[in-house]
Structure 1
């Protein structure tokens, strides 16, 4: 059964998708683009790179390919920084071309608009295969749930699942343990969520947990670092 999906415009002018069946959007209503840059690029990828510039390729794992925004921003970052990234993302419900072709992320920041063709390219890359997209960006997209996904070694986790009250099965301690176990020492886990239970579970899994300023419209977010053992 096909999900009903509506394209919406968030406060920073960028699009997101809204699922009436869950009464949930793919991004913050306060700004999809700003949220991705703040949570996943600034406090995730760039934070890891700042302390590990000699370790390449960077292995990124994303829970929820969704609109492809995080993947595209990561590709742009890889090309700009001439830094190799192996990007693994999972998505049990890929969106169709009729939807992603209407999304406006590539038009939000004029300084990176010349990377626009790659947004379509990453969406059209075959699922469940993996391969080279650009000189610095390799990607594997799997149509699979997190429960069933095979995980590879991870340096940075983009935990971008729907909210805990919408998809509680993706925020249990057991499922978080699966992700943490695959992370390399010093690896970074970032998410927009700042739920107390999430932070307690990550701490019990041996992570160093930080509560950081959230993106516009959200007070806090979570980052956790896997301790060297």
Structure 2
């Protein structure tokens, strides 16, 4: 996939911003509500399942994008007194100028400088708060290498299989399954048949869950504790 053309800002149904990638004709988040979608699929659908299990959670995000999923995770960690190690993979990071135009900090009532830390041009691991450490990797998913059985939760938030089919394959999902700890989970917004088949073939156990407004269903994929 080529580097995107300049992004356009879009106000979604819940008042929060998303960006549109003009080159491929897709938005980074649901136009029905960016915060609403991310909270439903990634926080409630994946992270909440670890609230009672452990105090330190390792998260991998595929498609770091606007940083919204990371910001919501940080707020969750503060609310429930958890430690988060967050690895965000992004092939084409947005600029600090574009990040500065997003309104997430206003809606979520968090200081803008904290949000902008997510978009500093560094690939080194650094603390955003005393509960949240970020490592941002600028790389493609095909080339990225992940440690074996170190990840608790994966947010799979790449662009759709229609425009990035190379990211929704058995080979890719097998690599991600290997990175998950036993009992780990991955959620994604796509319920396409090709996605479900690829997940099953790679060894994931999948379930369809009710989606956020504007989306009927989404997928949660789990790594069997006995695998």
> Residue in 2 aligned with 1:144?
139
Residues 1:133 and 2:135 aligned together: no
What is the CA-CA distance between 1:56 and the residue it aligns to? 3.6
Of 9, 12, 28, 1:10 maps to 12
> Residue in 2 aligned with 1:83?
82
Of 26, 29, 53, 1:27 maps to 29
> Residue in 2 aligned with 1:39?
41
How far apart, CA to CA, are the structure 1 residues paired with 2:72 and 2:225? Answer: 28
Of 110, 117, 123, 1:121 maps to 117
Contact 2:65 2:94 in 1 (8 A): yes
SS at the partner of 1:101?
helix
Q: 4+ runs of 1 displaced by more than 4 Å?
A: none
What is the CA-CA distance between 1:115 and the residue it aligns to? 4.6
> Residue in 1 aligned with 2:151?
154
How far apart, CA to CA, are the structure 1 residues paired with 2:213 and 2:4? Answer: 32
Contact 1:16 1:32 in 2 (8 A): yes
Q: In the superposition, relative to structure 1, how do residues 122 and 227 fare at CA in structure 2: closer, same or farther (>3 Å)?
A: same
Contact 1:62 1:90 in 2 (8 A): yes
SS at the partner of 2:51?
helix
What is the CA-CA distance between 1:163 and the residue it aligns to? 0.6
Q: In the superposition, relative to structure 1, how do residues 24 and 114 fare at CA in structure 2: closer, same or farther (>3 Å)?
A: closer
> Residue in 1 aligned with 2:207?
210
Gaps of 5+ in 1: none
What is the CA-CA distance between 1:197 and the residue it aligns to? 1.8
Deviations 1:16-54 (A, max 9, x none): 00111101110111111100000000011112334x2xx
Q: TM-score, normalised by structure 2?
A: 0.93
SS at the partner of 1:163?
coil
CA-based RMSD of the aligned residues comes to 1.4
Stretch moving more, 218-227 or 144-153: 144-153
How far apart, CA to CA, are the structure 2 residues paired with 1:2 and 1:21? Answer: 6
What is the CA-CA distance between 1:200 and the residue it aligns to? 1.9
Gaps of 5+ in 2: none
Q: TM-score, normalised by structure 1?
A: 0.92
Contact 1:48 1:188 in 2 (8 A): no
SS at the partner of 1:108?
helix
> Residue in 2 aligned with 1:69?
68
SS at the partner of 1:3?
coil
Contact 1:183 1:226 in 2 (8 A): yes
Of 202, 224, 227, 2:224 maps to 227
How far apart, CA to CA, are the structure 2 residues paired with 1:154 and 1:186? Answer: 10
